[in-house]
Amino acid sequence: MSGVATGEAAAPAARERGAVAEFLRRMALGEYGTLRVLLGIAVIWTIFQIANDRFLTAINLSNLILQITAVATISIGVVLILLLGEIDLSVAAVSGLAAGVMAVLNVKEGWAPELAILAGLATGAAIGLFNGFMVTTFGIPSFVVTLAGLLAWQGALLAVLGDTGTVNLPDNLITDLTTTFFSQELGWAVAAVVIAAYTATVIRERRLREKAGLETGALGAAVAKTAVVAAAMIAAVAILNEDRGVPLAAVIMLSLMAIFSFITKRTRYGRHIFAVGGNAEAARRAGISTKWVRITVFTLGSTLAAAGGILAASRLLAVNQSSGGSDLLLLAIAGPVIAGTSLFGGRGFVWSALLGALVIGSISNGMDLLALSSDIKFMITGAVLLLAVTIDAATRLRRQTGTT
Amino acid sequence: MNGTQSQQAATERTPANSPLLALKGVSKSFGPVEALKDVDFELGAGEVVGLVGDNGAGKSTLIKAISGVQPADEGEAYFEGNRVTLNTPQAAYRLGIATVYQDLALCENLDVVQNLYLGQEVGNHIPGLDLLDEPSMEHRTLELLDSLGVTTIRSVRTEVAQLSGGQRQAVAIARSLLGEPRLVLLDEPTAALGVVQTREILKLVQRLRERGLGVVVISHNLANVFRVADRIVVLRLGRVAAVLDADETNREQVVGAITGAEFGQEDVARTTEEHAL
């Protein structure tokens, strides 16, 4: 550390140049992980578009969004739990069980779809509460508690489904979740609201910082960031409208992302999640109830897993014995990690759930378009996971040695 | 020159009517082990006391008794002349006693502002929502660090993981000041630091004194204690072995009191006795 004062006295031109250099330096140190993931997605999309020109069509991108909603929703909960420095290996099994409970209550017991959905979510919440209780009260590592859960809740799903093994969902609110598409106008209205809300937030933030007499950062950067978000929203709605329109499921997923991103970054509770994940002892001494934070986060995590399971069932139009099985667990955890959420706690962001799901979903979708066989698909997916995490580890190493 | 004289000098220096903190006859046992035995301790406002002693001499036990983490079994505590009980960390905190432990208790993944306000975040209380007021916290962090003369932290939005040991210590000390304490306990503040950073932290301790705070510094490093302390309290085997005026004593004398060897057992025993009186 040089100790040289920066800023105030420097000429504007020098400051601009400094800002660019600072940007590049921080990029190399892996601080703009999001940008790196977006670049990665661009590369993946380009490759698949060259391999098959149907990849970047409106219908395929629309399908891609629908394919990733369930796993991205589960991953939101995974992010929260990873932020704590814990892990939940039972999220996929819980998503299957919650969907099973919902389907059986709705179809076999004749519950209203709304109530059945709530019961599914409550199942997830109850399991999360149990996990949190076991971890905090008995000090059992979450790895072990949820590994046991992984097996037990799969068994519970089989028991709930009974002899038939499959419950098909009739045409009702549950299936509507993933088969409803907004009209063109409503789609644009959603985009307008999102862009307006984002812009308002950025402006309000700058005003508040100005009022407190703090540096506000370059105006150009803020404008550019807002423009990128607006352009992405407009492009997404334009593409989705060209196909069937903006899917309700995507709006649900994005709303959950926005809500939990807000909670983690802007509220006291969210700050405490990061604190517990960073240094639980320090958090405890600062007067934070680490037990309360842990239990609630496990509960939220499993509830979000249940929500993801319900979306998956809605898209499949059924719940069967393999719901929540296969590689769902791996993908739900790998997604956020690829996009920059640490496995070791305290570092990450909610939107990594979406970015990671986009990376994995794009690869899987693209390989399906190319009609690759399972052997190749598994190996390529594995290689991409390793590559992404290696890049992350390499930048982190550079960060540790690059500054003192 | 011996311990008795300097002890008298020290007594004269301290305003007898209202020391910030006074402990009388404090004892603490862990089972059969007497960690503190009949310890008297005084600290004035704007005074820095160096607390030294060998491992197991009772330094940490005394700090924990003052900070309420491990209340003493016996003895009386007076804060500004009023009898107080220091039986919980909250009670000590309410009196204005802040402690910076050796491990600093910082979250490396959070930035300077977030660490400073950890557990006492400033928020806008909308019912049902506890929103953080980042601009106020950042503004007050900058003010506080500025008033402490901490200039080496380039951005208060830097993750603590990227700060040096000295910067972390400065952040931890700054955090302890948020509650407007009257007395700050520093446990080995320079233990893991290099020469330059140690100098920065010692300067910071002097700023605390200028602010009128009472400061207790535990340290193994006698050179640092001499550079910053007004008085040196030596503990040995749970007793006060000597109370020395930093200006009028020397390294050999302090080491002698710590080990109980240099001047022979007799000399140290006499110092202890007289202090107990």
A309 touches B: beta carbon within 8 Å: no
What is the distance, to the nearest Å, from the Cα of residue A344 to the centroid of all Cα atoms in its chain? 17
Instruction: Give the C-alpha separation, B200 to B167, whole Å.
Output: 9
Average pLDDT, rounded, for chain B = 85
Long-range contacts, A154-159 (Cβ 8 Å, 24+): A154/A93, A154/A96, A154/A97, A154/A324, A154/A325, A156/A97, A157/A93, A157/A96, A157/A97, A157/A100, A157/A321, A157/A323, A157/A324, A158/A321
What distance in Å separates residue A195's CA from the closest CA in chain B? Answer: 22
Mean pLDDT along residues A290-309 = 97
At residue A7, does pLDDT exceed 60? no
Among B105, B135, B162, select the one facing A403 at the smallest CB separation: B162
What does the pLDDT read at residue A188? 96
A287–B135 C-beta distance less than 8 A = no
Q: Under 8 Å CB-to-CB from A8, ≥6 apart: which residues?
A: none
Q: Under 8 Å CB-to-CB from A20, ≥6 apart: which residues?
A: none
A3–B107 C-beta distance less than 8 A = no
Q: In B, which residues are within 8 Å of A271 by CB distance?
A: 110, 114, 118, 121, 132
Across A81-95, A327-341, B165-179, B247-261, least confident range? B247-261
Q: What is the DSSP string of A198-248?
A: HHHHHHHHHHHHHHTT-----HHHHHHHHHHHHHHHHHHHHHHHHTT--BH
At residue A42, does pLDDT exceed 90? yes
Reading the block at residue A404, the tokens are 């003192």
- Quote the percentage of chain A above a pLDDT of 90: 72
What does the pLDDT read at residue B14? 42
Banded model confidence at residue A64, pLDDT cuts 50, 70, 90: very high
Calculate helix-pair angle for A91-103, A142-161, nearest 10 degrees.
20
What distance in Å separates residue A346's CA from the closest CA in chain B? Answer: 6
Q: What is the pLDDT of residues B105-163, one digit of tens each?
A: 899 999 999 999 998 899 877 776 788 999 999 999 999 999 888 888 889 999 999 89
Banded model confidence at residue A150, pLDDT cuts 50, 70, 90: very high
At residue A396, does pLDDT exceed 80? no
Task: Enumerate chain B positions whose Cβ falls within 8 A of a Cβ in A.
Answer: 103, 105-110, 114, 118-121, 123, 129-132, 134-136, 138-139, 142, 151-152, 154, 162, 164, 167
What does the pLDDT read at residue B229? 94
Q: What is the pLDDT of residues A45-54, one digit of tens each?
A: 999 999 999 9
3-state DSSP helix/strand/coil % of chain A, to nearest 5: 75, 0, 20
List the single residue in A with minimal CA-CA distance to B165.
Answer: A404
Mean pLDDT along residues A169-183 = 93
Q: What is the pLDDT of residues A205-231, one digit of tens each?
A: 899 999 888 888 888 888 998 999 999
DSSP B162: G
Instruction: Give the C-alpha separation, A200 to A194, whole Å.
Output: 10
Return the ∠ at Cα B59 (arms to B119 and B150), rounded to 5°: 50
B164–A275 C-beta distance less than 8 A = no
Q: In B, which residues are within 8 Å of A279 by CB distance?
A: 105-109
Instruction: Give the C-alpha separation, A283 to A341, whole Å.
Output: 20
A292 touches B: beta carbon within 8 Å: no
B107–A275 C-beta distance less than 8 A = yes
Among A5, A275, A346, select the one facing B118 at the smallest CB separation: A275
Spell out a b/e string for B189-203, using b for 16 or more CB atoms within 10 Å of the CB, else e: bbeebeeebbebbbe
CA-atom Rg of chain B in angstroms: 19
- Cβ atoms within 10 Å, residue A213: 11
Considering Cα of A273, then B177, then B99, then B76, what sign does the dihedral take? Answer: negative
Q: What is the pLDDT of residues A326-343, one digit of tens each?
A: 889 999 999 999 888 988
Instruction: Give the C-alpha separation, A131 to A401, whole Å.
Output: 38
At residue B50, does pLDDT exceed 50? yes
Q: Under 8 Å CB-to-CB from A378, ≥6 apart: which residues?
A: none
Size of interface A-B (CB pairs under 8 A): 85
Across A230-239, A256-265, A317-326, least confident range? A317-326
What does the pLDDT read at residue A34? 81
Q: In B, which residues are within 8 Å of A288 by CB distance?
A: 118-119
Instruction: Give the C-alpha separation, A158 to A138, whole Å.
Output: 29
At residue A90, does pLDDT exceed 60? yes
What does the pLDDT read at residue A361? 94
What does the pLDDT read at residue B89? 85
B114–A214 C-beta distance less than 8 A = no
Mean pLDDT along residues A137-153 = 95
A contact test, residue of B118, B131, B178 with most A CBs within 10 A: B118
Instruction: Give the C-alpha separation, A134 to A152, whole Å.
Output: 15
What does the pLDDT read at residue B126? 72
Is residue A356 within 8 A of residue A336, CB to CB? The reply is yes
Q: What is the pLDDT of residues B203-228, one digit of tens each?
A: 999 999 999 999 999 988 899 999 99
Q: Under 8 Å CB-to-CB from A105, ≥6 apart: which residues?
A: A111, A115, A116, A119, A120
What does the pLDDT read at residue B10? 41
Q: What is the pLDDT of residues B16-43, one digit of tens each?
A: 457 899 999 999 999 888 899 999 999 9
Instruction: Give the C-alpha separation, A114 to A93, whole Å.
Output: 22
A214–B142 C-beta distance less than 8 A = yes
- Quote the percentage of chain B above a pLDDT of 70: 87
Among B118, B131, B154, select the one facing A6 at the smallest CB separation: B154
What does the pLDDT read at residue A27? 62
Single out the residue of B128, B130, B132 nearest to residue B116, CA to CA.
B132
Q: What is the DSSP string of A4-48?
A: ---STTS-HHHHHHHHHHHHHHHHHTTTTHHHHHHHHHHHHHHHH
Q: In A, which residues are within 8 Å of B129 by CB distance?
A: 267
Interface predicted TM-score (ipTM):
0.84
Instruction: Give the C-alpha separation, A71 to B232, whole Å.
Output: 63
Instruction: Give the C-alpha separation, A336 to A338, whole Å.
Output: 5
* Residue B215 backbone dihedrals phi, psi, to 5 degrees: -130, 130
Q: In A, which residues are within 8 Å of B123 by CB distance?
A: 268
Q: In A, which residues are within 8 Å of B152 by CB distance?
A: 1, 3
Calculate helix-pair angle for A328-338, A352-369, nearest 10 degrees.
120
What does the pLDDT read at residue B8? 42
At residue B4, does pLDDT exceed 70? no
Q: In A, which residues are within 8 Å of B105 by CB distance?
A: 279, 281-282, 285-286
What does the pLDDT read at residue A255? 96
At residue B67, does pLDDT exceed 70? yes
| Bridge partners (DSSP) listed for residue B30 | B33
What does the pLDDT read at residue A8? 39
pTM: 0.86
B162–A275 C-beta distance less than 8 A = no
| Bridge partners (DSSP) listed for residue B239 | B236
